[in-house]
């Protein structure tokens, strides 16, 4: 019975394993992330990102790279839809958790613990996603990583990125993080691709037992042009 209850909690998703009363922060540094990945069942929620849910409408199959995969809420969703998924993350704890969750769902995925800037794939990807990760990089590093993500993408493939903007309430509070000026900063990076979506929105969040908070987010969805 106890085992069954645990399974139900896993399926429903965001039930914290232990009290996380002290988790009030809207942004976590790498050390805190490590700590909470072990404590909280789904630190960023179990539901895939709202934009990732639409990826299968654009591309039916192929290889996916999730940069900063975390616990894998997006990667697992795409693996369930039949994509061949690789998730990379600088956190070993994240990768172990991602692989464990995949195994529990009988999904075959690849997980690599590596700094995204060091990752050099020997294949191309049809979909590259990177949600809520680029604030861990400097402006120069974030641009370098975006250029790399574009390079890894097959012709006709897509990139999906979400970032936090300077209108986010965390901008003044967390000087160690990189906030984007606005969605135009993303658009500029993808000027040579077909832009499918480039917009900004606010989102109320409460994940992993955190205090409720609102984020100001920019999203970019773009397709690599097919060369003739
Ligand atoms: C806020 S979480 C988002 C996780 C996932 N993308 C999602 O939307 O659920 C950010 C993730 O980026 C990872 N990360 C931070 N710096 C990284 C780096 N240099 N290379 C790869 N991953 C990194 C963190 O370990 C963390 O798992």
Residues of the chain with pLDDT under 50: 1-21
For residue 145 and ligand 1, the question of a CB distance below 6 A is answered with no
Contact 85, 64 (CB under 8 A): yes
Reported as a single tens digit per residue, the pLDDT across 15-56 is 443 444 455 667 888 888 888 888 777 778 778 999 999 999
70 lines ligand 1 (CB under 6 A): yes
Which among 81, 76, 98 is positioned nearest to 89, based on CA atoms? 98
Q: Is the CB of 132 under 6 A from ligand 1?
A: yes
Q: Dihedrals φ, ψ of 13, to 5°?
A: 115, -75
55-79 pLDDT, tens digit each: 999 999 999 999 999 999 999 999 9
Domains of the chain: 30-223 (3.40.50.150)
CA dist 74 and 55 (Å) reads: 10
Q: How many angstroms does the Cα of residue 195 sit away from the middle of ligand 1?
A: 24
**Is 33's C-beta closer than 6 angstroms to any atom of ligand 1?**
yes
Q: What is the pLDDT of residue 22?
A: 52
CA of 94 to the centre of ligand 1 (A): 9
State the residue for tokens 């990945």.
Answer: 37
**pLDDT given at position 32:** 81
The per-residue pLDDT for 209 is: 64
Nearest CA owner, ligand 1 atom 14: 68
* Strand ordering across the sheet containing 194-205: 110-113, 84-89, 63-67, 125-131, 153-164, 213-223, 194-205
Rounded (5°) CA angle 163-167-172: 100
Query: pTM score, two decimals?
Result: 0.89
**CA 66 – CA 129 distance, rounded (Å):** 5
Q: What is the pLDDT of residue 20?
A: 46
């Amino acid at each position: 019975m106890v085992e069954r209850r645990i399974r139900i909690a896993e399926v429903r998703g965001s039930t914290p394993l232990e009290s996380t009363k002290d988790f009030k922060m809207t942004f976590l540094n790498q050390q805190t992330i490590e700590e909470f990945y072990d404590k909280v069942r789904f630190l960023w929620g179990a539901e895939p990102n709202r934009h990732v849910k639409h990826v299968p409408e654009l591309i039916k199959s192929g290889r996916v790279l999730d940069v900063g995969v975390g616990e894998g809420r997006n990667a697992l969703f795409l693996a369930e839809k039949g994509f061949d998924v690789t998730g990379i993350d600088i956190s070993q704890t994240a990768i172990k958790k991602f692989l464990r969750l995949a195994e529990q769902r009988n999904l075959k995925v690849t997980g690599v613990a590596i700094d995204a800037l060091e990752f050099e794939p020997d294949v191309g990807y049809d979909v590259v996603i990177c949600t809520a990760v680029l604030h861990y990089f400097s402006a120069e590093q974030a641009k370098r990583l975006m250029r790399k993500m574009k390079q890894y993408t097959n012709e006709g493939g897509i990139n999906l990125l979400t970032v936090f903007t300077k209108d986010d309430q965390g901008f003044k509070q967390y000087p160690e993080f990189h906030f984007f000026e606005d969605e135009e900063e993303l658009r500029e990076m993808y000027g040579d691709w077909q832009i499918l979506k480039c917009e900004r929105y606010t989102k109320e969040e409460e994940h992993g037992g955190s205090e409720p908070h609102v984020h100001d987010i920019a999203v970019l969805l773009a397709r690599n042009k097919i060369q003739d």
